[in-house]
Structure 1
């Protein structure tokens, strides 16, 4: 067992209305009036009201190289990651020097040394902190990150783990690409970061009565034959989105069985779960999850609200939903929750949570 003690989030700049973003980005994607009209339709049907972007809107027209975009990912991403970590550690009441394990994840930029190395000095982490940078899990990595930090803490019950995710999706926009996948991506994805502090069961912050749920277990699911559904094509111009219209069908086919398997391992059933922390992937993802798990509008309200306010933040998305859930809902003591997200592979990661019953 481990305990999720605190979540910190960070967003760059101010919230831009969806229309302003489309008006700026649209001409960079296509000169074809029909494709621009398609982008406008996607924008209006997306459910996104506002998004935060790493750069001022007027600077995207000059962003013409992968190298420049990646340099900005490193500089801006490190700043956002630091903000999220500081917030999470402050809320947890834990000093940076006490962190034993640091897992960093992103899929919107690359660097060596990775951003987590820069965080050691910026945050005041110990030089012997165990670091594990991750690339390639995509949107699923927020959930997978919690699961992998939990796995570490099961073997190190006195330790502190810190998960940090940063995604600057706007830096991956592909100029001159008016494919449907790129138009959808341009209408849905935003920029942001998140950090989560977890502790092992023997750590003082893991005692019963502390705010935050226990992590009871997780399940990883990889669906063969779906590699072309979601991911990146790596081009000279950077990361080009690979996004299939069939992705919701994959979720609809597999999710109910995977959730049932996770719950059965803990002698639970679907009816025992009262809180659903669902990756804010978009309207069709929400519909697929709701249909597979027989959820109503209330079950997905936090996810939908988060998506409307900031868009899809890739791996940071489900962590923002988690932060909003802890802030808004205050799940009932003794209740169970499932946190879930999807990513390239196609894969899913499910995490079982439990809020302590009142003593």
Structure 2
């Protein structure tokens, strides 16, 4: 009796990131928008963020940055997102040692604007990818969406051994700002930055057992972690704690973050992590690398305390928050890129990828090098 072999586990083979060219300190942003309210200034200057890459609004006749219409914000989302998304993909493919023609699946993630057609179709045209490239757009899921999309890309890769899948997070957060002087918008405006991040995935070639699996030679395989499993944990009671919805007063879409978000996420972190690791027969002490979403200083601290992690464990998360702010769905890939640059990973190491966002949701992935 023949036994159907289990699908090969996908491997992350490369990562690439991109940000807009202009970077601003928090103090420079306060000056640029002429913010004098001491409460708002305190939010900007005490959030663990030093600078962010942003595309600021045009300057009006009085020398101040003028409010943008919803149409202008959507055009910013398109132009800024397409530029940084294409750059992140090119960097990622170059590091993977593959070409644009090798891409067989493209998954695009964004939560900072709405486009039809979406970034997947636009990037296929912009980059000159093959017109028969499979594609998916993950829209509106928020900061956790990078792992939701990685799960989808990994599923495609596992059923197409040897073929190259690309997942790219494209967030033009400056296309989602409302400047009305309220504390609600000021918290958001102090936190998010613009950027894109991409990863390549390939399954097959040499499975975990080390024996040939019958698939064709995989494209551009590089040493990288295999994606062992994913897990989700939704908190229905906090469904409205993180929102991007229409603001009647401002006449545009606007972010909302409940002040209790850090504590809600932190309180649910332990259960979700233990479920992920327990299913693999692991303990937290066996995880060598923690890649946590740079959601904000309070969010990172709450997760760290509830999981018993050290500041060293989340050093890359803290560093990305400091240098770029919260990059929404792609934040964890900026941290993953820094981990690889550090060159401390050894074969056999386990890692956890963790993102948090609207729902309220915690998304997780377990990887092994």
When the two structures are superposed, what TM-score results if normalisation uses the length of structure 1?
A: 0.91
Question: How far apart are residue 26 of structure 1 and its match?
Answer: 5.0
1:260, 1:223 → 2: CA distance? 16
Correspondence for 1:23 among 23, 26, 31: 31
Question: Distance in 2 between the 1:241 and 1:26 partners?
Answer: 21
Q: Map of 1:1-359 to 2, 5 A cutoff?
A: 1-25=9-33, 27=35, 36-55=37-56, 58=59, 61-178=65-182, 180-202=183-205, 203-205=217-219, 210-235=222-247, 237-355=251-369
Indicate the SS of the match to 1:332: coil
Q: Secondary structure at the match of 1:302?
A: helix
CA contact (8 A) 1:7 1:197 kept: yes
Aligned length: 345
Give the equivalent residue in structure 2 for 1:30.
none
CA distance in 1, matches of 2:196, 2:58: 19
What CA deviation, in whole Å up to 9, does each residue of 1:51-76 have, x standing for no partner? 11124774782342101110121112
Distance in 1, matches of 2:137 and 2:39, equals 37
Q: Does the 8 A contact of 2:316 with 2:339 survive in 1? A: yes
Give the direction of change, closer, same or farther, for the CA distance of 1:231–1:335 in structure 2 (3 Å limit): same
**Residue 209 of structure 2 corresponds to which residue in structure 1?**
none
1:206 and 1:94 map into 2 onto residues whose CA distance is 6
CA contact (8 A) 1:190 1:312 kept: yes
How far has the Cα of 1:84 moved from its partner?
0.4
Q: Is the 8 A contact 1:26 1:39 kept in 2?
A: no
**How has the CA–CA distance of structure 1 residues 163 and 95 changed in structure 2, closer, same or farther, with 3 Å as cutoff?**
same
Structure 1 residue ranges (4+ consecutive) displaced by more than 6 angstroms after TM superposition: none
* Alignment deviations for residues 223-249 of structure 1 (CA, whole Å, 9 cap, x no partner): 111111112122363321111111122
Q: d(CA) in 1 for partners of 2:56 and 2:97?
A: 32
Deviation at 1:266, TM superposition (A): 1.4
CA distance in 1, matches of 2:146, 2:20: 19
Contact 2:246 2:254 in 1 (8 A): yes
- Give the CA RMSD over aligned residues: 1.7
Question: How far apart are 1:102 and its partner, in Å?
Answer: 0.8
- Alpha-carbon shift at residue 157 of structure 1 (Å): 2.1
Deviations 1:201-244 (A, max 9, x none): 2353576xx32211111102211111111121223633211111
Deviation at 1:331, TM superposition (A): 1.6
- 2:100–2:128 contact (8 Å) kept in structure 1: yes
SS at match of 2:348: coil
Query: Structure 2-normalised TM-score?
Result: 0.89
Specify every segment of 5 or more residues in structure 2 that has no aligned partner in the other structure, as ranges: 1-8, 206-216
Change (3 A) 1:323 1:206: same
